Amino acid sequence: MLMAAAAACGLCGCDAVGVVANAASGDEQVAPSYTGLKGQRVGIMVWVDNGVAIDHPTLQGEVARGLQDKLQQAANAKDNGVKDITWIQADQILRFQEDHPELQTDSAQEIAPQLKLTRLVYAEIESLSLHPNRSVDLTRGSVIGDIKVVEVSDGKAQVVYQESNVNITYPPHTPPEGMTGLDDDDVYTKSVDAFTTELAKRFITHPAEEQ
């Protein structure tokens, strides 16, 4: 999925490239929240609220692929926390979900042992909106979700890391009511990119947020 960097910036995550590049600079650095992906067999599974999925049917795959791409970029940039990962590809996980709709109500702990992995990164997207208060003239991207990591050993799974209410807005610092003159498709793409970058920060060393 990755293309040449100049062509792929908007879709594959120049934000992530910047995060990784800045991690090698003299800026103040923030350690990852979870460091147990190194050397593991890892898959990413994304669950999307039904209402959101109806409006944005490609969102599930975009988030899964985007997060995997960014973690791999970090590994390529020698981030020690995500080195030597063996990936179960995002498309393989998506096919598993499509083939087993009966698992939709199962917990991540119940699903993980069926995937032949040792770490499952499980993201739940609760909302994605482009128009605050349903105003068609004002645009502001917003994505809210949860993330957890399930460790699997000897067929047993347990949640070892979780965080609720991971959220982004795009463009950053947009007023709550939104802005005029923004393209919906561009805001959607860059909101998803910003969200997957925010998720990736839980697993890689990254610069401290500017105040």
pLDDT in tens, 6-34: 333 443 445 554 555 454 455 789 999 99
Position 204 confidence tier, pLDDT thresholds 50, 70, 90? very high
Q: Half-sphere exposure of 188 toward its Cβ, with a 13 Å CA cutoff?
A: 12
Residues 6+ apart with CB under 8 A from 73: 13, 16, 17, 20
Residue 1: per-residue pLDDT = 31
DSSP string computed for 122-162: EEEEEEEESSGGG-SS-B-EEEEEEEEEEEEETTEEEEEEE
Strand 86-87 versus strand 141-153 pairing type:
unpaired
Cβ-based neighbours of 169, under 8 Å, separated by 6 or more: 140, 141, 142, 191
CATH class of residue range 30-206: alpha beta
Q: What is the pLDDT of residue 35?
A: 96
- With beta carbons less than 8 A apart as the criterion, state whether 18 and 201 touch: no
Arithmetic mean of pLDDT over the chain: 89
Mean pLDDT to the nearest integer, 50-60: 96
Tens of pLDDT, residues 92-150: 999 999 999 999 899 999 999 999 999 999 999 999 999 998 888 999 999 999 999 99
pLDDT of residue 4: 31
Amino acid identity for residue 30 in this structure: V
Separation CA 161–CA 187 (nearest Å): 30
Confidence of residue 154 (pLDDT cuts 50, 70, 90): very high
Q: What is the DSSP letter of 30?
A: E
Burial (CB < 10 A; 0-12, 13-18, 19+), residue 175, is: exposed
CB atoms within 10 A of CB 4: 7
What is this structure's pTM? Answer: 0.87
